[in-house]
């Protein structure tokens, strides 16, 4: 039986998230400065969308994701 589209989307997201966290580990080994990592990750988001989306809209996308993530991490706490 085929998975529901929402389950497939979630599974795709979890695979991408796992890869992003692996890349983050590599980035921490490259530079100990959080600002270097933060800016490079934001640049990656702009690069992802640059051929199809205006910069102001990309900023709105980022802000929308933050509105979702802040409550999640506030509730979860910032444990390691």
Give the pLDDT confidence of 3-61 residue by residue, as tens digits. 667 999 999 999 999 999 999 999 999 999 999 999 999 999 999 999 999 999 999 99
If DSSP codes are grouped into helix, strand and coil, which group holds residue 57? helix
Global pTM?
Answer: 0.78
Half-sphere exposure of 75 (CA within 13 A, CB side): 4
Domain layout of the chain by residue ranges: 1-30, 33-80
């Amino acid at each position: 039986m085929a998975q529901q589209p929402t389950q497939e989307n979630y599974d795709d997201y979890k695979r991408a998230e796992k890869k992003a966290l692996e890349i983050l580990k590599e980035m921490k080994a490259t530079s100990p400065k959080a600002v270097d990592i933060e800016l490079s990750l934001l640049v990656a988001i702009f690069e992802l969308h640059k051929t199809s989306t205006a910069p102001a809209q990309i900023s709105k996308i980022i802000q929308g994701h933050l509105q979702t993530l802040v409550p999640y991490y506030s509730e979860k706490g910032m444990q390691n």
